[in-house]
């Protein structure tokens, strides 16, 4: 009797033994897209980081006004849309993650070490990013620092992984075709599924940053147009512990450190200076952006009165007693801009207490964390 060999079965045992990918071509394509989306997230993330922690020389222009809104929107929405891509890539690659024997040589061990860093780091970046835009901080570490430093680890491991796998990618990244990669699922079907899931995620969050699409932003924790005076609030006056100091009728804004005498303005005195009205967005690093109309005094007018040097840097201080975001830095490119204001009015009415009454900073092309509310002093350095 001739014993027939079940080829499929032999092949599947062989696959398990050598731990091949679910599908090489799928894995290569997903890897390429991930490489692109991680690089975009890295660059836009660096912009955000250096805007929040200016290195001491002006690196970021005040124009175009909405540039930061665009880079931050791409970072957050692109990051969210990467989640389905990463999950699909892990599915395609996961038999390899369990390969046996786990280590074959020193070189193999190092290679796998970098893949471990890449997988763990990617999951860390996406999950902490999502928790951040949901305003949920269940972890013990500081989010911006951890998210920032892990990005270098992920990018380093990614570059090494791409170099290692480039030959495979070149061999296998042909057209999708209709080969089945799982029961009932072709390559083309899988790519369609991933693209659809990423597109859906982007569609229900993009309204966070693009006001006309706000109604679609069903997954967004903050929405343009929703909040006092039609603008979301990030931190309230009560949370910042400024309820009393901000409402104190003896409040004054002090401008110090210039070549002239120290200046100080009551709210009425500020209101007596030439006033401007500008249209500028708040673009929060936590993902949302919203436009508003602001009225107030130009920062450059006040700094000129105080005798500020053209290239001076200014520390903007708030009434807040102690918090990471109680102050911000203004580079000269930003304070020279005619639309950078000490704003006292928002959308035609005096600032609501939660939006920074009696006076706040508003400047173009700048992250929300640096639009300091409840001002107390400008210090020229
Ligand atoms: N003093 C102070 N100003 C601050 C903050 C803060 O915590 N303290 N939060 C900032 C952040 S993160 C954002 S996004 C904007 C939001 O301004 P809004 O609450 O008026 O919309 O305020 C900024 N100004
Ligand atoms: Mo923010």
What does pLDDT average to over the chain?
A: 91
Asked if residue 41 lies in contact with residue 82, where contact means CB atoms within 8 angstroms, the answer is: yes
- Residues lying with their CB under 5 A of ligand 2, a single-atom ion: 234, 284, 368-369
Residue whose CA is at the smallest distance from ligand 1 atom 15: 368
Cβ(284) – ligand 1 distance below 6 Å: yes
CB atoms inside a 10 Å sphere around CB 127: 12
Residue with CA closest to ligand 1 atom 10: 369
Give yes or no for a contact between 168 and 31, defined as CB atoms under 8 angstroms apart: no
Whether 301 and 235 have beta carbons less than 8 Å apart is answered as no
DSSP class of 278: E
- The residue assigned the tokens 């807040």 is 320
pLDDT of residue 280: 98
Structure-block tokens of residue 302: 């006040």
Say what the pLDDT of residue 1 is. 47
- Helices 24-52 and 143-172: crossing angle in degrees, nearest 10, is 150
Which residue has the CA at smallest separation from atom 13 of ligand 1?
368
Average pLDDT over residues 241-268: 96
**Cα 210 to ligand 1 centre (Å):** 19
The two structure tokens encoding residue 206: 């993009």
Ligand lying nearest the CA atom of residue 370:
1
**Residue 277, H or E segment:** strand 275-283
Determine whether the shortest distance from the Cβ of 366 to ligand 1 is under 6 A: no
User: Is residue 318 in contact with ligand 1, taking CB distance under 6 Å?
Assistant: yes
* CA 373 / ligand 1 centre spacing (Å): 6
Domain ranges of the chain: 2-203, 229-380
Regarding the domain delimited by 229-380, which CATH topology (the fold level of the hierarchy) does it fall under? Sulfite Oxidase; Chain A, domain 2 (3.90.420)
Cα Rg of the chain (Å, integer): 26
In whole angstroms, give the CA distance from residue 363 to residue 335: 8
Tokens of 76: 């957050």
Phi, psi torsion values for 80, nearest 5 degrees: -65, -40
Verify whether ligand 1 is closer than 6 Å to residue 214 (CB atom).
no
pLDDT digits (tens, 9 = 90+) for 207-232: 988 888 888 888 777 788 889 999 99
Determine whether the shortest distance from the Cβ of 360 to ligand 1 is under 6 A.
Answer: no
Please state which of the ranges 3-7, 53-57, 294-298, 306-310 shows the lowest mean pLDDT.
3-7
- On the question of pLDDT at 7 being above 70, the answer is no
Residue 149 buriedness (CB in 10 A; 0-12 / 13-18 / 19+): exposed
Which of 83-92, 168-177, 257-266 is predicted least confidently? 168-177
DSSP string, 304-354: HHTT--TT--EEEEES-SS-TTSEEEE-HHHHSSTT-EEEEEETTEEPPGG
pLDDT single digits (tens) 64-109: 999 999 999 999 999 999 999 999 999 999 888 888 888 999 999 9
User: Residue 156 C-alpha to ligand 2 middle, in angstroms?
Assistant: 29
Mean per-residue pLDDT, 47-51: 92
- Name the closest-CA residue to atom 6, ligand 1: 325
Overall average pLDDT of the 253-267 stretch: 95
DSSP 69: H
The Cα–Cα gap between 28 and 181 comes to 13
Q: Is 65 in the pocket of ligand 1 (CB under 6 A)?
A: no
Q: How confident is the model at residue 52 (pLDDT cuts 50, 70, 90)?
A: confident
Confidence check: pLDDT of 56 > 80: no
Closest by alpha carbon to 225, among 278, 134, 289? Answer: 289
**Ligand 1 neighbour 282 (Cβ under 6 A):** yes
């Amino acid at each position: 009797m001739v014993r027939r060999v079940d080829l499929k079965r032999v092949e599947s045992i062989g696959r398990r033994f050598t731990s091949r990918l679910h599908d090489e071509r799928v894995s290569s394509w997903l890897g390429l897209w991930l490489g692109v989306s991680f690089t975009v997230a890295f660059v836009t993330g660096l912009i955000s980081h250096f805007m929040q922690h200016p290195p001491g020389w002006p690196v970021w222009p005040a124009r175009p006004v909405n540039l930061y809104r665009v880079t931050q929107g791409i970072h957050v929405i692109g990051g969210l849309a990467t989640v389905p891509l990463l999950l699909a890539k892990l599915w395609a690659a996961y038999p390899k993650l369990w390969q046996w024997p786990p280590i074959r040589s020193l070189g193999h061990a190092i290679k796998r070490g970098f893949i471990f860093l890449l997988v763990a780091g990617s999951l860390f970046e996406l999950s902490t990013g999502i928790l951040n835009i949901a305003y949920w901080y269940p972890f013990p570490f500081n989010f911006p620092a951890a998210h920032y430093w892990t990005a270098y680890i992920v990018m380093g491991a990614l570059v090494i992984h791409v170099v290692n796998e480039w030959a495979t990618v070149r061999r296998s990244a042909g057209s999708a075709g209709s080969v089945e990669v799982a029961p009932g699922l072709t390559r083309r079907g899988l790519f369609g599924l991933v693209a659809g899931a990423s597109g859906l995620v982007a569609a229900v969050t993009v309204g966070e940053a693009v006001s006309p699409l706000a109604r679609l932003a069903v997954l967004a924790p903050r929405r343009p147009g929703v909040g006092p005076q039609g603008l979301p609030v990030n931190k309230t006056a009560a949370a910042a512990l400024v309820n009393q100091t901000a409402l104190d009728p003896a409040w004054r804004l002090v401008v110090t450190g210039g070549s002239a005498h120290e200046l100080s303005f009551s709210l009425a005195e500020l209101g007596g200076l030439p006033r401007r009205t500008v249209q500028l967005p708040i673009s929060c690093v936590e993902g949302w952006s919203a436009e508003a109309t602001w009225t107030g005094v130009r920062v450059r007018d006040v700094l000129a009165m105080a005798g500020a040097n053209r290239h001076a840097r200014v520390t903007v201080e708030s009434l807040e007693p102690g918090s990471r975001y109680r102050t911000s830095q203004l580079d000269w490119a930003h304070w020279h801009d005619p639309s950078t204001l000490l704003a006292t009015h928002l959308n035609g009415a005096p600032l609501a207490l939660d939006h920074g009454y009696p006076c706040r900073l508003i400047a173009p092309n700048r992250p929300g964390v640096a639009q300091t509310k409840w001002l107390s002093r400008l210090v020229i350095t």
